[in-house]
Chains A and B, each alone.
Chain A
């Protein structure tokens, strides 16, 4: 178990180091052995995502699929129940996070997993 934990920690570290998790991926992407910058690919919406970090990609996808609006509607109901004045962060987190996890569409999930697997494959030897 310790090893697993260590493994995970190492991977996370790698994710952050390379900028895959938080900061943008490479400034130049290589597609079919041609190099493109962000600006060049900006006209191709389906390709632009390779420049996004995992986190940015997920956020963009969730907004696009309407996940954020759905969750917001749910929030409003919760808040109206609780009363506007008495809302706390903990309340919100407890109410919203499970719903949020459940509401993520499968397509988004699949895409993200694919990306992660690619990353892991690239960094096979840590």
Chain B
């Protein structure tokens, strides 16, 4: 077993992972072995270039349908720029945890909480293709293995640079860290502003959405959870 059973993952997380066939290619399949995970990408960098013309054509058609004049100077190369921008904003699809974590896990005899907070996060709402952005706070209690601090931010990048739903993003980050480190517990809190609510629809400028995932000892022990929440919210 790949160490996943060391963690007391709550039932709903397991259920969520197993039952949600929707994002089958993107799922962190907890049963897959490390070898199989290496090949788990649905998009490779070389493919990006070959897909660019189709994306450009789609954007040109969008501009025209919106009533704009695609020949004016400001819009001449916009389809290409917009296509590249969109590919950048979804580049998380061709990155995996293994690529970035491989060398940065260290054996340290440390079992106190480690928190990295205020990680800026930018993602795309999968329902409206409009950005949402905010801050991610991550805490974990190592179990003899600590991870390089920037790797936590890189894990956030991998999962956020995709078409996302904030709830799923939070869980994916938490589960990704769990799998890589097998810590005693992981906590992830995301506070974000959704442009789909701010720029359109209800148009509430100051609304923020907060989601959290608590795994392991953070779920079971309220005091640990409180400590994390107090430390990550303080400013």
Pairing of A with B: no
Question: A-side interface residues toward B, CB under 8 Å?
Answer: none
